[in-house]
Amino acid sequence: IIWIVDFGSQYTQLITRKTRELGYSSEIIALEECHKRFQEGHLPKCLVLSGGPQSVFEDPYDYSFIFEHKDLPVLGICYGMQLLGKFFGGVVEKGIIGEYGHADIHFTNQFKIAGTPGKMSVWMSHSDHVSRVPADFDVVMESSNKLVSGIKHKSKPIMGLQFHPEVEHSKHGKSILNYFYQKVANLSKDWNASEMLEEAFEMVREIGDKKVLCAFSGGVDSLVAATLSERILGKNLHCFFVDNGLLRIQDYNHIQKLKRETNLNIEIVDAKDDFLNALKSVDEPEQKRKIIGRMFIEIFEKKVHEYEKNHKIHFEYLLQGTLYPDVIESSPHINGGKSVTIKSHHNVGGLPERMKLKLLEPLRHLFKDEVREMGLSLGLKRDWVYRHPFPGPGLGVRILGAIEPEAIRMVQESDQILFEELIEAKLYQSTWQAFTVFLPIKTVGVKGDGRAYEHVICLRMVNSSDGMTANWSHFPHEFLETVSRRITNEVKGITRVVYDITSKPPGTIEWE
Ligand code: XMP
């Protein structure tokens, strides 16, 4: 397995993804963890040092623990290349000009990589640069600004790239990575869809004949996690789907379909009244999120006690569809391990501690697109594994202010109209998420011949690749018009429909 040491670059996850796409297994680890493993005698097949926002001048770390292993293949990307430059006795300088965004590079010193042209456009993001290359290295790539873009050790399997081969904008980046893994590091391929599935099955097999509880939302992650676990666990897997009263019409339809068309043992837990009572008159977004999170835990606890008492079933494991991006921790010395809480995301995070459940997370090494691929290979329908994400707190964060039954109805009905029209217009897959938001204000309108003084529905549709940044979806005006007309005609209490044209940042995707 290849270890990718995370120095805090925003592209580190992409290195892993590209590496896996090329057929090599890889994981992201923090520098401290990497050092610890080396000290314990565990070495990877190959090490990639990622980019990072800091400067090698301020980095006091002693990297000799890596380079004393002379046959260990090491690829340094951006910051990683500057570390190589500094460690092996070259000179790294603060740049007068930086290179950000597109840059043109070319090979030098007769260096060649099969399948790539001699000149290519790549993505850069640096101001420091290696100004004198260490004596043991050759310069193999240079930018049109005459800066060193690639270096290769004369005798060891070590290479440095100043640009980011992992991003799409680096045209032949994947071929360059492949060159390193194949020709420099001499690795053999060990990652593909069936390996991925086998590894996940193995994690489930390891728990043996135990009762497993799954907090099942019907979303892609819990569906794939449950489907693959069911193949091993059979009836030992119990899926609880909590109806908190804050679900969309499409969710109710979906869960019924899953009950009919899969082998999963799904129990729908009706907790509508509990949730709505607990949320009565609460209008502050964070407080709503906390209450919904707490209620989920309470409902699960109640359910588990009921199973122990009435059916003598004792759950030992909680199955969760946790994905790799939630598992990765970057180096604590880089970001202090802290980030600002914008929204307290709700999952079922409090469950395991309170209920002494062990966690079963068979997807914890996978990215979303890998999970989707796995879902398809398990025989799940394409539209089940390509559903839009839906937040844990559900419509609770799409009804601004206090949650009233009438507001739930209006947001549910308008959401269903939007959903139907997206499918009809074949636009569902052209957007990352699409939903309606209930605004707790009234505006004046005219319906028939009379004055109306009613509520507003906002349409929110965004394009994004990971939910971290997003732009509003530029859909045809005719489509927006149809949705608006249907909502004002069919949803009682709505006279006005608006379209949110805010990107993220500064707006978040959800309104609360
Ligand atoms: P924001 O609103 O933060 O949303 O821009 C980014 C993505 O995360 C989803 N989201 C959540 N998902 N629990 C979840 O599982 C949550 O509490 C939660 N809040 C937001 C949101 O729908 C979008 O896809």
User: What confidence tens digit (pLDDT) does each residue in 404-461 have?
Assistant: 999 999 999 999 999 999 999 999 999 999 999 999 999 999 998 899 999 999 999 9
pLDDT of residue 466: 80
pLDDT tens for each residue of 465-494: 888 889 999 999 999 999 999 999 999 999
| pLDDT level of residue 286 (50, 70, 90 thresholds) | very high
Residue 35 has pLDDT above 60, yes or no: yes
Q: Outline where 378-468 has alpha helix (H).
A: 382-385, 405-424
Q: Is 164 a catalytic residue?
A: yes
Residue 337 has pLDDT above 50, yes or no: no
Q: Is 68 a catalytic residue?
A: no
46, 99, 129, 166: the catalytic one is 166
Mean of the per-residue pLDDT values for the chain? Answer: 93
Pocket (CB within 6 angstroms of ligand 1) = 343, 345-347, 389, 391-393, 433, 467, 504, 508-510
Q: Is 238 a catalytic residue?
A: no
pLDDT of residue 261: 98
pLDDT of residue 153: 98
Calculate mean pLDDT across residues 76-86.
97
In 3D space, the residue among 261, 142, 267 whose CA is nearest the CA of residue 216 turns out to be 267
At 371, phi and psi to the nearest 5? -65, -40
To which H or E segment does residue 120 belong?
strand 119-126
Neighbours of 115 (CB within 10 A): 11
Return the percentage of the chain with pLDDT > 70, whole number.
Answer: 96
| pLDDT level of residue 45 (50, 70, 90 thresholds) | very high
Residue 341 has pLDDT above 90, yes or no: no
Output the CA angle 193-203-20, nearest 5 degrees.
30
pLDDT tens for each residue of 370-381: 999 999 999 999
Half-sphere exposure of 512 (CA within 13 A, CB side): 27
Distance 202 CA to ligand 1 centre (A): 30
pLDDT of residue 173: 96
Q: Between 338 and 263, name the one with better pLDDT.
A: 263
β-strand pairing of 99-107 with 137-143: antiparallel
Q: Which domains does the chain have, with CATH numbers?
A: 2-184 (3.40.50.880), 193-385 (3.40.50.620), 399-499 (3.30.300.10)
To which H or E segment does residue 204 belong?
helix 193-205
Residue 75 has pLDDT above 90, yes or no: yes
78, 214, 239, 458: the catalytic one is 78
pLDDT tens for each residue of 456-465: 999 999 999 8
CB 279 within 8 A of CB 396: yes
pLDDT of residue 348: 58
Q: Distance between CA atoms of 375 and 378, rounded to whole angstroms? A: 5
| pLDDT level of residue 334 (50, 70, 90 thresholds) | low
Overall residue count recorded for the chain in this entry: 512
126, 129, 153, 164: the catalytic one is 164
| pLDDT level of residue 90 (50, 70, 90 thresholds) | very high
ipTM over cut 0.85: yes
Residue written as token pair 């580190």: 12
Given the CA of residue 464, which atom of ligand 1 is nearest to it?
24
CB 317 within 8 A of CB 360: yes
| pLDDT level of residue 124 (50, 70, 90 thresholds) | very high
Protein residue whose Cα sits closest to atom 9 of ligand 1: 391
Q: Distance between CA atoms of 224 and 422, rounded to whole angstroms? A: 24
pLDDT of residue 320: 92
CB 266 within 8 A of CB 321: no
To which H or E segment does residue 178 belong?
helix 173-179
